[in-house]
Amino acid sequence: MAKSQNSTQSLPGQNLGLTSQTMATAPAAPAASGGSKLSEDTMKQSLSACGYSGAPKSDFVTELINQINKQSWDSNQTSMFLAQIFHESQGLTQLQEQACVSTPCTQYDGSNGSSVTGVPGQHYFGRGYMQLTWPSNYNAASNALYKNNSLLQNPGSVASDKSIAAATSIWFWNTNVMTSKAPLTQFGLTTKAINGSIECGKGQQPAPVNRWQNYQKIAKVLGVTNLASESGCYN
């Protein structure tokens, strides 16, 4: 979950689905061209390799692939990103924190040490493929991507809009995870950047290990031969 808070995550192998969501129109994340290209087939193969049997919404997946393909990532970085969002979203099927759907979680509505406060009546629990959390992150993503505070005003759009769901996750990855070249050679550093002390520094717990295993399996599908090490989170 982005950032530094987490709900209990299920592990792959469960048939999970999204509820019907209202979609709006939004611009894609700005990015450089080039890099490794994904196809719907390789995305399906990657999901299957990781044991996810749910059925993500096809138009959402197509939009996600299109936005990933606008990045300048190589196959290794693409594998890392997919490993993390597969875990966060249960194989691309859950775009909001499930524990907060029926009864909105209010514990993420505070400032979390920043100067940004939420809008009364709105809630800022995990949404999107990277589970964007806290008003400060919604506001930062909104300003970076759309030059306004629309996501702070309407945080639900991060889950309901296919373009925003993809764009915010890619924004978080580029801005908060890939802050140096180190994560490209130490997969655990990507988990640490996403979930910090919630998962890291506690030994081999199921959640961070599942992220690492996802990466290994996806990297095989995408033909990555020089994998990053496991280190950086629990070892």
pLDDT digits (tens, 9 = 90+) for 96-145: 999 998 898 999 999 989 999 999 999 999 999 999 999 999 999 999 99
What is each CA distance from 32 to 84, 90, 106, in whole angstroms?
Answer: 21, 28, 37
| Residue 18 near residue 157 (C-beta atoms within 8 A) | no
Structure tokens at 48: 């299957």
CA distance 86 to 37: 18
Distance CA 110, CA 134 (A): 7
Name the pTM for this structure.
0.86
Domains and CATH numbers, the chain: 40-221 (1.10.530.10)
d(CA 59, CA 24): 13
- Indicate whether 35 pLDDT > 60: no
Distance between CA atoms of residues 109 and 100, nearest Å: 12
